[in-house]
């Protein structure tokens, strides 16, 4: 009579095959969840269920690399440790690249667990896991530990891919925002500068990256008067560009109806405060010139002082107020007035011109800029601007760290 009762060896083989089938099913379920773009909490929950119900792991701690440290993203069983202490304990084992027993470990945290499981990509540790109350048989131990490591590795790779995807989306959004901001700014910067018998204008605008916060403008008010402005809006991106657009519209509107520069500045300040709630500010220099009286009225609102060159003499125009947008009410507001001689040159610029990083022992600051204006003040505005940029590129040999804007006028 044939004996159909399986032998003990056959029992063990069947048990092993069933175990392997369960492992493959577990990995398959996690992979399906990843392919369906399941969220991080779902993946962590699936991992915990498999560890607890299938592998009978009683305590578990799962730390993953985040911002150059390790965050505990899953834990169950036992008394919970402080994250910092847990992180520090795992880092004492940072050179171990395979599952390792913690039997005999003297660290007060690590000795509560049975095994340490690291997850590496090349030489970089991506994650660590600690498992305790894990009573598997000796002959199945290596298989179970390798399976746990494989399963955790699959989850870590999925989380890394999610992170890279988010970073790519963020980079794409940022790039698109910069492109939109550049389009807005290009509409604001004058394509051609005004030129007539009374004034000649030259401008240079060099954004440090695709989009900057600099702005300049020239407005012919009537047959006898003109106004110009140079400004620097804090921040970058679409919000800064939209603030700049709103500033330009407000400036043009009020310049057309207001004769007093102090009223224009006061109105601009209130508008910027209303739009930004004090989160952004604008520095600017604004001036209005009357060709009949030859008087120049100006206000410097926290901006780099415009340099006036006339008959070999150089002065800075500093009178004014603080930046606009920072205070509901400007703490002080003074308007400067000066008589202009024929041939006077006005050099307006943003702070990026002085933020140039000189090469070696070269010196470039406000004093050396004033000296440069004094030496080259007889040049035409365009030639002066080009000479200045050539000097920075060949004489100073530094590099710009911010946007550079130069607006130069010669008043005849």
Find where tokens 């008043």 sit: 411
394 has pLDDT over 90: no
132 or 24, which is more confident? 132
What is the rounded CA–CA span in Å between residue 40 and residue 152? 13
**CA dihedral for 67, 68, 69, 75, sign (positive or negative):** positive
Looking at residues 255-267, what average pLDDT do you find?
94
Tokens matching residue 281: 């500010």
Q: For residues 213 and 243, what is the distance between their CA atoms, to the nearest angstrom?
A: 10
* pLDDT at residue 1, rounded to an integer: 47
Report in angstroms the alpha-carbon separations of 331 from 202, 211, 287.
Answer: 34, 32, 20
Model pLDDT, residue 15: 62
Q: What is the pLDDT of residues 37-88, one digit of tens each?
A: 888 899 999 999 889 888 889 999 999 988 778 889 999 999 999 888 998 8
Burial of 209 (0-12, 13-18, 19+ CB in 10 A): exposed
Using the predicted structure, report yes or no on whether residue 183 has a pLDDT greater than 50: yes
Query: What pLDDT was estimated at residue 177?
Result: 67
Question: Per mean pLDDT, which range of 53-67, 147-161, 217-231, 396-410 is the poorest?
Answer: 396-410
Residue 209: is its pLDDT beyond 80?
Answer: no
With cut-offs at 50, 70 and 90, classify the pLDDT of residue 187: low
Output the average pLDDT for the chain. Answer: 86
Residue 32 has pLDDT above 50, yes or no: yes
> Distance between CA 110 and CA 387 in Å, rounded?
68
pLDDT: is 64 or 15 the higher one? 64
- Which has the minimum average pLDDT: 260-269, 351-360, 364-373? 351-360
210 pLDDT exceeds 70? no
At 196, is the pLDDT very low, low, confident or very high (cuts 50, 70, 90)?
A: confident
Which structural domains are found in the chain, ordered by start?
10-167 (3.30.450.40), 189-411 (3.60.40.10)
Identify the three-state secondary structure at position 275: helix
Mean pLDDT calculated for residue range 210-239: 85
**How far is the C-alpha of 102 from the C-alpha of 188, rounded, in Å?**
66
Most confident among 55-69, 136-150, 172-186, 336-350 (mean pLDDT): 336-350
Helical segments of 277-380, H only = 366-376
Least confident of 8-22, 33-47, 129-143, 336-350: 8-22
Residue pointed to by tokens 């009537």: 222
**Residues 169-183: what's their mean pLDDT?**
72
Average pLDDT over residues 155-168: 86
pLDDT tens, residue by residue, 300-342:
999 999 999 999 999 999 999 999 999 999 999 999 999 999 9
Distance, in Å, from the CA atom of 33 to the CA atom of 42, rounded to the nearest integer, reads 8
pLDDT at 129 exceeding the cut of 50: yes
The predicted pLDDT at position 12 comes to 62
Q: In this structure, are residues 242 and 184 in contact, taking their beta carbons and an 8 Å threshold?
A: yes
Please give the share of the chain, as a percent, with pLDDT higher than 70. Answer: 87
């Amino acid at each position: 009579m044939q004996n159909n009762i399986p032998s003990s060896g056959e029992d063990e083989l069947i048990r092993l095959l069933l175990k392997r089938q369960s492992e493959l099913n577990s990995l398959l379920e996690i992979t399906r969840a990843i392919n369906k773009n399941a969220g991080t909490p779902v993946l962590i929950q699936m991992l915990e269920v498999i560890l607890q119900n299938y592998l009978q792991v009683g305590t578990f701690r799962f730390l993953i690399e985040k911002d150059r440290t390790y965050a505990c993203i899953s834990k169950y069983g036992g008394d919970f440790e402080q994250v910092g202490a847990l992180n520090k304990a795992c880092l004492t084992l940072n050179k171990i690249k395979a599952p390792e027993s913690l039997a005999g470990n003297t660290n007060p945290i690590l000795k509560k667990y049975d095994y340490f499981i690291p997850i590496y990509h090349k030489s970089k540790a991506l994650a660590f896991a600690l498992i305790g109350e894990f009573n598997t048989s000796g002959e199945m131990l290596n298989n179970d530990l390798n399976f746990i490591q494989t399963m955790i590795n699959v989850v870590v790779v999925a989380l890394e891919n999610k992170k890279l995807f988010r970073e790519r989306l963020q980079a794409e959004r940022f790039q698109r925002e910069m492109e939109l901001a550049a389009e807005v700014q290009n509409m604001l910067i004058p394509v051609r500068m005004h030129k007539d018998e009374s004034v000649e204008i030259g401008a240079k605008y060099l954004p440090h990256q695709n989009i900057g916060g600099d702005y300049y403008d020239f407005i012919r008010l009537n047959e006898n008067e003109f106004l110009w402005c140079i400004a620097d809006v804090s921040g970058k991106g679409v919000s800064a560009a939209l603030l700049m657009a709103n500033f330009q519209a407000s400036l043009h509107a009020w310049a057309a109806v207001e004769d007093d520069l102090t009223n224009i500045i006061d109105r601009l300040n209130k508008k910027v405060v209303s739009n930004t709630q004090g989160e952004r500010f604008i520095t600017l220099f604004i001036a209005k010139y009357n060709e009949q009286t030859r008087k120049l009225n100006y206000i410097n609102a926290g901006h780099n002082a415009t340099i006036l060159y006339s008959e070999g003499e150089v002065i800075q125009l500093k009178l004014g107020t603080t930046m606009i947008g920072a205070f509901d009410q400007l703490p002080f507001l003074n308007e400067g007035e000066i008589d202009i001689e024929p041939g006077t040159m006005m050099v307006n610029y943003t702070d990026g011109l002085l933020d140039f990083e000189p090469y070696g022992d070269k010196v470039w600051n406000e004093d050396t800029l004033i000296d440069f204006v004094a030496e080259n003040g007889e040049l035409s505005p365009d030639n002066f601007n080009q000479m200045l940029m050539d000097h920075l590129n060949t004489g100073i040999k530094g590099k710009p760290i911010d946007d550079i804007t130069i607006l130069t006028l010669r008043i005849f």
